[in-house]
Chains A and B, each alone.
Chain A
């Protein structure tokens, strides 16, 4: 089954830790996001 991973809110991608074709374990960090603060 193919899953689409979506952003929960507006954010900026800080880092991408995987590439296409890579095998990952459960709980592995795929992508890091920076969410804008409320004051911004």
Chain B
């Protein structure tokens, strides 16, 4: 006779029975739920085969795996991978047994100049260049501080800095089948604060032999991390032709210059990636043909005359250039608000032509036709960069702006000071357009003088398109806007004013000051606008007495942010260009 179950065993059996009942209920409920679903659509067999084949053939673009991210996702790992590849190349293809990490954190064997960089980096944020050993500690602290505030990771590493390099990038396209192609290189050497502002393709300094080496190295680097995504690979070209391959992990917004390298070629390359796999060819297409020379320039809402400080505001008038070989990629419109909280880029303007000089001239003409009123942009600055003889000759380096346009800011300030004087003179003497200016904003005609605040002398009006040519048969000197016509209008206005004073001698009207006479300088500036002479060129020929800069006694914060460091104390004397404070955007 068996002993009765103990209370502990009984409770265990009860819990097991309850659990199994729960499981049965769950399965029953799941079966009931499945029965309520609509039946799956069963496609015909042929359609199913086609869909399966399409799935297999379609280039499947994806990010690299965790290993690829570890190897190329961070700047320091990327630099080490490049060093390993170079050492392997020097060793004749053998994998090196080991080696000292030159250039890694610690920098024991790094040479000056060197660059402190954040371990996680975007657009060269957190990068500080050290040109003397005394600057080492300050640069390290600044780089770590900026990297911490931008990415939450204050770890930095050190690598050698190449002075006066060419910044050449190679764009790569790869799929999951191992097919990797390149879409040519592009020159991105015109940079400000390590951010490119003008791109062109092909690079004027890359020869055919060097192009083969660059593209082969870029493709090998992409394959080494198993990357299957369109990506950019930055290849600085040093004077001694030493190659580095800092791959750019993020896939930036489509570069217009690459699109124009060959829209047809890229689509064909993608199609080939799939079709050859299906046919079992297995060959690798590594080159795309090139047609034409594209150039592109980025227009930003930064004020070049104020050390490229942000210039937020509302766009009052927007007129984009059009024409053959011209493309504008922008996200702005008239009436839109431009804030400081996003990237400063407003638009990307691209020009395409048969050769480099034609593309440059076409881009320059398009920039002259580009009108953005309401926010200060760098369009005039870009025009002056493209007009430089060194740029036309292809002598572009990353320090191009420092060498060829070092005083652009001061010239721009003089231009703005003259513009302010012109505004004041309008304000004192002119009542023209006053009624329209006082009209409600919604009733103002877009693009009219009233929409521009009633003033015609604003800087961006320099680039307004020229007036239409008069119809044939008319005297050109009598066309609207000509000096002859304006003199006639002025005489007529003066006659009417005198007549009004005689007829209606109201004291307030009599006390209105007369419109100032047009001086020789104003007439010359008007002629310059017609001839397309830029403000920079006008300032370059201006007399020293004209370059009067109105200095502000108070230094204001250009946008919300945090004061990182105050560099001066009360009572301290500072020279022009000396730093006063460091601040970051909120």
Residues of A within 8 A of B580 (CB): 5-7, 13, 30-31
C-beta contact mask, A1-30 vs B, less than 8 Å → 1, else 0?
A: 111111111111111101111111111111
Residues of A within 8 A of B340 (CB): 26
B32 within 8 A of partner (CB) = no
B556 within 8 A of partner (CB) = yes
C-beta contact mask, B567-586 vs A, less than 8 Å → 1, else 0?
A: 01111111111111111111
Contact B570 A7 (CB under 8 A): no
Chain B interface residues toward A at CB < 8 A = 125, 142, 146, 307, 309, 340, 413, 549, 551-566, 568-586
What is the interface residue range for chain A against chain B?
A: 20 to 34
Contact A30 B568 (CB under 8 A): no
Contact B581 A35 (CB under 8 A): no
Residues of A within 8 A of B570 (CB): 13-16
Top 3 nearest A-B pairs by Cβ distance?
A: A31-B555, A26-B559, A7-B574
Residues of A within 8 A of B585 (CB): 1, 3
Residues of A within 8 A of B564 (CB): 2, 20-21
* Known interface pairs A25-B557, A34-B553; A20-B566 also in contact (CB < 8 Å): yes
Residues of B within 8 A of A6 (CB): 307, 577-580
- A3 to chain B minimum Cβ distance, whole angstroms, is 5
- B475 to chain A minimum Cβ distance, whole angstroms, is 49
Contact A23 B573 (CB under 8 A): no
Cα A10 to Cα B549 in complex, Å, equals: 12
Contact B555 A29 (CB under 8 A): yes
Contact B556 A30 (CB under 8 A): yes
What are 15 of the A-B contact pairs (CB < 8 Å)? Answer: A2-B142, A2-B584, A5-B579, A12-B573, A13-B572, A13-B573, A16-B569, A21-B562, A22-B563, A23-B563, A25-B560, A27-B556, A29-B555, A33-B553, A35-B553
Contact A18 B556 (CB under 8 A): no
Question: Which of A1, A4, A16, A35 lies in contact with B566, CB distance below 8 A?
Answer: A16
Cα A9 to Cα B410 in complex, Å, equals: 11
Contact A9 B563 (CB under 8 A): no
Cα A32 to Cα B585 in complex, Å, equals: 21
Question: Which of A10, A12, A24, A34 lies in contact with B563, CB distance below 8 A?
Answer: A24
Cα A11 to Cα B565 in complex, Å, equals: 19
* Known interface pairs A10-B574, A24-B561; A5-B553 also in contact (CB < 8 Å): no
Most chain B CB within a 10 A radius of its CB, from A2, A19, A29, A31? A2
Residue of B nearest to A3 (CB): B583
Residues of A within 8 A of B560 (CB): 23-26
Cα A7 to Cα B560 in complex, Å, equals: 20
- B388 to chain A minimum Cβ distance, whole angstroms, is 25
- B223 to chain A minimum Cβ distance, whole angstroms, is 35
- A14 to chain B minimum Cβ distance, whole angstroms, is 7
Question: Which of B549, B558, B568, B579 lies in contact with A9, CB distance below 8 A?
Answer: B549
Residues of A within 8 A of B142 (CB): 2
Most chain B CB within a 10 A radius of its CB, from A12, A19, A22, A31? A31
Cα A33 to Cα B573 in complex, Å, equals: 9
Contact B566 A11 (CB under 8 A): no
Cα A1 to Cα B343 in complex, Å, equals: 10
Residue of B nearest to A31 (CB): B555
* Known interface pairs A15-B570, A24-B557, A24-B560; A35-B578 also in contact (CB < 8 Å): no
Residues of B within 8 A of A2 (CB): 142, 146, 564, 582-584
* Known interface pairs A3-B583, A6-B307, A32-B555; A20-B578 also in contact (CB < 8 Å): no
Contact A5 B583 (CB under 8 A): yes
Cα A4 to Cα B572 in complex, Å, equals: 18
- B128 to chain A minimum Cβ distance, whole angstroms, is 10
- A17 to chain B minimum Cβ distance, whole angstroms, is 9
Residue of B nearest to A26 (CB): B559
Cα A1 to Cα B549 in complex, Å, equals: 28
Cα A29 to Cα B570 in complex, Å, equals: 14
